[in-house]
């Protein structure tokens, strides 16, 4: 009989790329029904089974990061920047979760370093498991097209002490840099689901991702306002009056949970009205409350009005707030919520 044929795979002479970034020493391959192995390339569709699996694993974050249970998300409906759309397509085509995770870590290693003047409280992202700082500048758009003359675009820079979180930050920075403040406001956070990255994230890190994107949107607005370019831009990309949005509150010394709840909800939901009442004193020493043991905080009553609640059921409004508060919710014994949209007031 003829000797067995031995097939040797050689390392490619050029690094494989994902959205222009070399894969971190990984031999990616696509399997399309045959036994042969080919260099990785974007696949056109995800399967319904994968989407259902994603939905099951990410149910705790389904309020905001909706899963495409039967059909793949239409990227055009997510209002992504060209760079972000390219990376979402590339990530969604990587055949396994472990490789996507490694790619995020590789992107983290390539994020440019920042100086200590960036690591200040004004640039810190609230509600993240790791410490994250991000800031931006507004600069004239470069290019030879006369139509771009006078167009101002945003360029971000930042850092995190957590590698996976730093990878998510690197993804956002690369995807949003060079976009206008208005384009950034339109970006739908569901792209993390379309990229299949949310499958690898815990609810806490999903929450951190939402917070990072929300802070980066706000940074873009602030930069545009300072440059006199934000007259018609709001946090939803429309023409809503900014004066109606609550942007600050009076912090209370010795009440870290109260301050965290207010900071998180104001930053992300941008409410037109918010009142948080600490009723912990009425339940002094309530057993099982971590918040009471740490700072004497266990019971709160929240009244909030925000555009984000428009079209959501009562249950989903509550789920949204629970998800945004992340680990803080684990320390609260009871949170009474009255959440309305402006049209309901």
H helical segments located in 179-255: 181-186, 191-194, 203-226
Report the alpha-carbon distance of residue 222 to residue 10 in Å, rounded.
51
Average pLDDT value for residue range 275-296 = 69
Q: pLDDT: is 149 or 33 the higher one?
A: 149
Top mean pLDDT of 22-26, 258-262, 282-286 is at 258-262
pLDDT band at 170 (very low <50, low <70, confident <90, very high): very high
Report the alpha-carbon distance of residue 323 to residue 271 in Å, rounded.
17
pLDDT at position 75, please?
84
- Average pLDDT for the chain: 75
Structure tokens at 46: 């995800």
pLDDT, tens only, 71-116: 456 788 889 999 999 999 999 888 888 999 999 999 999 999 999 9
Report the alpha-carbon distance of residue 39 to residue 42 in Å, rounded.
10
How far CA 18 is from CA of 171, 198, 315, in Å, comes to 12, 18, 39
Catalytic residue among 73, 128, 223, 323: 128
pLDDT band at 295 (very low <50, low <70, confident <90, very high): low
pLDDT at position 200, please?
77
Active site residue 136: no
pLDDT band at 291 (very low <50, low <70, confident <90, very high): very low
Q: pLDDT: is 67 or 125 the higher one?
A: 125
pTM given for the model: 0.56
pLDDT exceeds cutoff 50 at 57: no
Q: 107 Cβ partners below 8 Å, 6+ apart?
A: 21, 167, 170, 171, 174
Q: Which of 94, 165, 164 is nearest to 133 (CA)?
A: 165
Q: pLDDT: is 20 or 54 the higher one?
A: 20
Residues in the chain: 345
Average pLDDT value for residue range 180-203 = 88
pLDDT exceeds cutoff 90 at 336: yes
pLDDT band at 280 (very low <50, low <70, confident <90, very high): confident
Q: pLDDT: is 170 or 22 the higher one?
A: 170
pLDDT at position 320, please?
83
Tokens 């207010």 appear where? Answer: 262
Average pLDDT value for residue range 199-221 = 86
């Amino acid at each position: 009989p003829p000797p067995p044929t031995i097939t040797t795979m050689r390392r490619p002479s050029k690094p494989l790329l994902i959205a222009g970034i070399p894969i971190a020493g990984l031999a990616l391959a696509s399997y399309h029904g045959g036994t042969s192995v080919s260099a990785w390339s974007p696949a056109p569709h995800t399967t319904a089974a994968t989407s259902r699996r994603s939905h099951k694993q990410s149910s705790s974050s389904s309020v905001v990061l909706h899963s495409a249970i039967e059909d793949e998300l239409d990227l055009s409906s997510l209002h992504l920047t060209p760079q972000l759309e390219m990376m979402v397509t590339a990530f969604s085509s990587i055949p396994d979760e472990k490789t996507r995770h490694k790619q995020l870590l590789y992107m983290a290693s390539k994020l440019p370093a920042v100086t200590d003047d960036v690591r200040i409280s004004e640039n810190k992202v609230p509600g993240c498991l790791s410490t994250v700082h991000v800031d931006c500048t507004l600069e004239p758009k470069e290019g030879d097209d006369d139509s771009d003359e006078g167009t101002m675009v945003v360029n971000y820079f930042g850092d995190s002490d957590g590698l996976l979180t730093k990878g998510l930050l690197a993804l956002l920075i690369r995807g949003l840099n060079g976009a206008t403040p208005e384009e950034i406001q339109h970006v739908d956070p569901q792209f993390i689901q379309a990229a299949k990255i949310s499958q690898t994230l815990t609810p806490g890190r999903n929450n951190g991702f939402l917070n990072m994107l929300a802070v980066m949107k706000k940074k873009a607005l602030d930069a545009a306002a300072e440059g006199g370019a934000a007259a018609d831009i709001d946090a939803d990309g429309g023409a809503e009056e900014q004066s109606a949005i609550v942007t600050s509150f009076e912090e209370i010394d010795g009440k870290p949970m109260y301050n965290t709840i207010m900071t998180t909800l104001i930053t992300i939901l941008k409410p037109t009205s918010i009142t948080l009442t600490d009723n912990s004193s009425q339940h002094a020493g309530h057993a099982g409350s971590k918040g009471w043991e740490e700072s004497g905080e266990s019971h709160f009553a929240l009244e909030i009005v925000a555009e984000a609640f428009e079209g959501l059921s009562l249950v989903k409004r509550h789920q949204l707030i629970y998800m945004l508060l992340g680990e803080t919710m684990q320390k609260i014994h009871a949170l009474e919520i009255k959440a309305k949209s402006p049209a309901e007031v």
